Structure 1
Amino acid sequence: MLYRVLHTVVPPVAKAIWRPTVHGVENIPATGGVILASNHLSFADSMVIPIVAPRRVAFLAKSDYFTGTGVKGTLQRAWFEGMGMLPVDRDDSKAAIASLDVALEVLGRGEAFGIYPEGTRSRDGRLYRGRTGVAHLALTAGVPVVPVGLVGTDKLQPVGSSLPKVVPVTVSFGAPIEVVGRYDGVPLGRARREVTDLIMAAIGELTGQVPAGVYNERAPDA
């Protein structure tokens, strides 16, 4: 109910203010489980994609956003829940496994799940090497992956900024990458790496980012 209310109001207002350039929305399947795999430049990314996508997209968010107290905590929790965010404790040693389980539940319900294969925000604008969790989800759930390229969100809400700025933002949805049957007989570890690299290459084509060639590491305040 809260999701429907927010999405009746927020996307039209946000689009009117920021006027994002959006390409390829037709590449997102109208129904069924699907993964939206995006580059990651800003805290605002998890707001931008659900606002412009034609269907609900669930993202993981720090559990801290759901545990605040008082009026501010209540409003913050309502906002994140209403935007379809799902809490995960990133400081828990088992958080990575738990987050994959949550994602598989979402996909199993035939819903869309958003993920950042880089793991955390790029602070220098380069595209970092993808972690294979995205491939694990695609291969396990048997769902397509739609690569997403974000450009300009790093200026929309720079690191350390509390309020978004009005700047040009482009969101591009690439052609779905189908994995079912594509890697039959391929060792699982190799299949996950190849799928992940394929996804990251597709994201890079959408954004034009320079490949970093290494994994990104989460900063203490990320």
Structure 2
Amino acid sequence: MFRIVLKAFLGLLMRVLFRPRVEGAEHIPGSGPVIVAGNHVTFIDSMFLSLVVKRQVYFIGKDEYVTGKGIKGRAMAWFFGEIGGMIPVDRDGGHGGVAALMTGRRVLEEGKVFGIYPEGTRSPDGRLYRGRTGVSRLALMTGAPVVPFAMVGTDKIQPGGAGIPKLARFEVRFGEPLDFSRYEGMDRDRYVLRAVADEVMSEVMRLSGQEYVDVYASKIKQAA
């Protein structure tokens, strides 16, 4: 109950300070498993998304966010977990990708909302990059619909993904649910997985208006 009240208070505070515009929130089903998949331009995206969606949204996050020591560390762990819906996973290990995938599958099989950024990392320059196929595997393994979304303007609130957020308006745009039931049982077909990921990213691009780059964002970061 305390978490619900606090989330409502933070949501109200966010609306007063940042005056967000939310479009298409009605596309998120009121119950049952659903994947919300979108662009990622700054660190604060997940928190803002959690506050504009009525249902609790669960995300995979780096375990370093919740392993801090002392009062500050415990406070951050509680905040990211209870309010932000973050589930810590060691993604740097050899089995990090599998652990993240299985965690997302468990969340969906419990009938909850799972948030994912198909690009796999924050955009290095504001453009939209090629989506990885984790979102495809989750959709085909669980049968959950995918609701695409776009965060617009959050990069102006927290440029570079660090520092104290600035006061500025932003938008969250949700598209209609994407149904991939036609690919049932084909979650190991790499061509199908790529087609699903590309369809999701095409909708995210339409919603965000970003320039699309058909390479992985991680490669751009590695080359920088």
TM class by shorter chain equals over 0.9
Normalization by structure 2: what TM-score? 0.93
1:107 alignment partner in structure 2: 108
Distance in 2, matches of 1:214 and 1:2, equals 43
Q: Which residue of 2 aligns with 1:117?
A: 118
Q: How many percent of aligned residue pairs carry the same amino acid?
A: 45
The question of 1:82 aligning with 2:74 is answered no
- Does residue 179 of structure 1 match 2:174? no
> Deviation at 1:184?
5.0
Partner of 2:213, secondary structure, is: coil
- Matched residue SS, 2:159: coil
CA shift digits 1:39-66 (9 cap, x unpaired) = 0100001111111012110011110111
Q: Partner of 1:35 in structure 2?
A: 35
1:145 corresponds in structure 2 to 146
The equivalent of 1:196 in structure 2 is 197
CA distance in 2, matches of 1:39, 1:3: 27
Name the SS for the 2:128 alignment partner: coil
Offset of residue 108 of structure 1: 0.3
Once the 2 structures are TM-superposed, how far is the Cα of residue 10 of structure 1 from its aligned partner? 1.1
Gap change, CA 1:143 and 1:97, over 3 Å in 2: same
* Alpha-carbon distance in 2 for matches of 1:160, 1:149: 17
Tell me which protein shows more helix as a share of its residues: 2
- Counterpart code for 2:196: V
How far did residue 2 of structure 1 move?
5.2
Aligned partner of 2:48 in structure 1 is 48
Instruction: For residues 29-86 of structure 1, give each alpha carbon's deviation from its aligned partner in whole angstroms, at most 9, with x where no partner exists.
Output: 1100000001010000111111101211001111011111111111111111112111
Letter of the structure 2 residue corresponding to residue 191 of structure 1:
V
Letter in 1 for 2:41: L
* Amino acid paired to 1:20: P
Structure 2 residue 135 is matched with structure 1 residue 134: yes
Deviation digits for residues 103-129 of structure 1 (CA, Å, limit 9, x no counterpart): 000000000000000000112111100
Which whole-Å CA distance do the structure 1 matches of 2:98 and 2:113 have between them?
19
Please give the secondary structure, in 1, of the residue aligned with 2:114. Answer: strand
Q: Which residues of structure 1 form unaligned runs of 5+?
A: none
| Cα distance between partner residues in 2 of 1:188 and 1:55 | 32
Offset at 1:160? 5.4
What is the number of equivalent residue pairs in this alignment?
Answer: 219
Distance 2:201 2:37 in 1: 9
- Structure 2 counterparts to residues 10-29 of structure 1, below 5 A: 10-29=10-29
Checking the alignment, whether the CA contact within 8 Å between 1:2 and 1:82 is kept in structure 2 is no
**Runs of 4 or more consecutive aligned structure 1 residues displaced over 3 Å after TM superposition:** 184-187
Alignment RMSD (CA, Å): 1.6
- For the pair 1:7 / 2:7, whether they are aligned, the reply is yes
